[in-house]
Chains A and B, each alone.
Chain A
Amino acid sequence: MNKLSRLFIPQKSNNYHALILQPSFLSLFIVLYLLNQSVLKSLTLLKPGVLGYSSEITVEKVLDQTNRERQIQALPPLRFNSTLAQSARLKAEDMFATNYWAHTSPAGLSPWKFIRDSGYKYSIAGENLAKDFYDTESLMKAWMNSPTHRDNIIHAKYEEVGIAVVDGVLGGIKTTLVVQHFGTPLVASTASTPEEKKLNSSFRPEAQVLAETSPLPVSEPLNPILIRKIVGGLIFGIIITTLFVDAYITLKNKTKRMTGSAIGHISFLALILVLILFARQGTIF
């Protein structure tokens, strides 16, 4: 009991500074937090499907990182097209509704059908799919490691892209589907060259990243965002509570000690909390 009180209550045995707030324990919290992040990332890459919804992935982030990859290749950025985004969304919703994970639906609907039905007239088009990723970075890494997906992302002839990030239940598992529909509008394209015609007639539904090697687990998936929030919240809660207890007892006993300012630490952590709580609402797209 005495050992436990040393963790939270300033006293002679801990040099009048709660152990939790001392550098050794703060370092331990940081290591534990980083370890938690690494385990979550590894789970995504090694066992896709174990993790559920990913609110980390947003259309904006996927677009931003797609264009960053193109920039590296000295290619012009893709324009976001709302019609292509609509076709991507319809494709994702169709996969959830009819419970399949492929470029062509069991009913024989190809990606081009969704694109055409949305009203997008193209000279060339492509599709990338992904699921079970919980952050955009891992998703983009997987796409860029796959030659066919990479080809779509850094294809010089694409001018526009539509992206959909849709949460739902597929095969009884909660997941996030990401659909990218690439295209070049028919009217905007230059006069057809044989090469373009060849591309035009050889729309290649791309192989799915990780999907083929990710059998859907039967058990209820873990939600990485929730795990991250719980671990972060626990660490935050323990530290802020200890800070208040430590400051209260020190003030009450008028203890003179050489430690960091409790007011400073509490103010800084309060700012972090405000940013997490309010910025989160603003980033839901």
Chain B
Amino acid sequence: MTKLLQNFPQLQKHPFEYLTLFAILTAGLVFFFSFFAEPQLQRRVVYATAASYFLWSLYHHHRRGDLSPSIIAEYLLFALLGILLLTYTLF
């Protein structure tokens, strides 16, 4: 495990931040499938997960000291693209 982490210095440097991200994404996955027959709630879960991912990025890069408009735009667009791909395919 340590050897594997050595290949990903970011994970090694900020383990708790990445654990938080994985927890957010896992929660999104669990909630999405727990609202199996309720598309409206599933849609809200998608929005909430994408928003949490974006907020995580602000915290993560603020802690790293490299938060910039370009990075904010990058995460915002990734979140938006994820929402679009998912909602237009599923709902």
Is A1 interfacial (CB-CB < 8 Å)? no
Chain B neighbourhood of A275, CB < 8 A:
29, 32, 46, 86, 90
Q: Is B57 touching A264 in the complex (CB atoms < 8 A)?
A: yes
Q: Is A30 touching B80 in the complex (CB atoms < 8 A)?
A: yes
For window 96-114 of chain A, which residues contact chain B by CB distance below 8 Å?
Answer: none
Q: Is A258 touching B56 in the complex (CB atoms < 8 A)?
A: no
Q: On chain A, which size bracket covers the interface?
A: 35 or more
Chain B neighbourhood of A261, CB < 8 A:
10, 57, 60
Q: Is B53 touching A23 in the complex (CB atoms < 8 A)?
A: no
Chain B neighbourhood of A272, CB < 8 A:
82, 85-86
Chain A neighbourhood of B90, CB < 8 A:
275-276, 279-280, 283
Chain B neighbourhood of A22, CB < 8 A:
70, 74
Looking at A73-81, A162-170, A227-235, the stretch in contact with chain B turns out to be: A227-235
Query: How many A-B pairs with Cβ below 8 Å?
Result: 105
Given contacts A269-B78, A276-B89, A279-B33, 10 further A-B contacts (CB under 8 A): A251-B9, A258-B68, A258-B70, A259-B71, A261-B57, A267-B21, A267-B25, A268-B25, A275-B32, A275-B90
For window 58-91 of chain B, which residues contact chain A by CB distance below 8 Å?
Answer: 60-61, 66, 68, 70-71, 73-75, 77-82, 84-86, 88-90
Q: List 12 A-B contacts (CB under 8 A).
A: A23-B74, A235-B85, A258-B66, A263-B10, A264-B18, A268-B53, A271-B49, A272-B85, A275-B32, A276-B86, A279-B32, A280-B90
Q: Which of A260, A263, A278 contacts B78 (CB 8 A)?
A: A260
A interface list, Cβ under 8 A from B = 21-23, 26-27, 29-30, 33-34, 37, 60-61, 228-229, 232, 235-236, 239, 251, 258-261, 263-265, 267-269, 271-272, 274-276, 278-280, 282-283
Q: Is B36 touching A282 in the complex (CB atoms < 8 A)?
A: yes
B interface list, Cβ under 8 A from A = 7-11, 18, 21-22, 25, 28-29, 32-33, 36-37, 39, 42, 46, 49-50, 53, 56-57, 60-61, 66, 68, 70-71, 73-75, 77-82, 84-86, 88-90
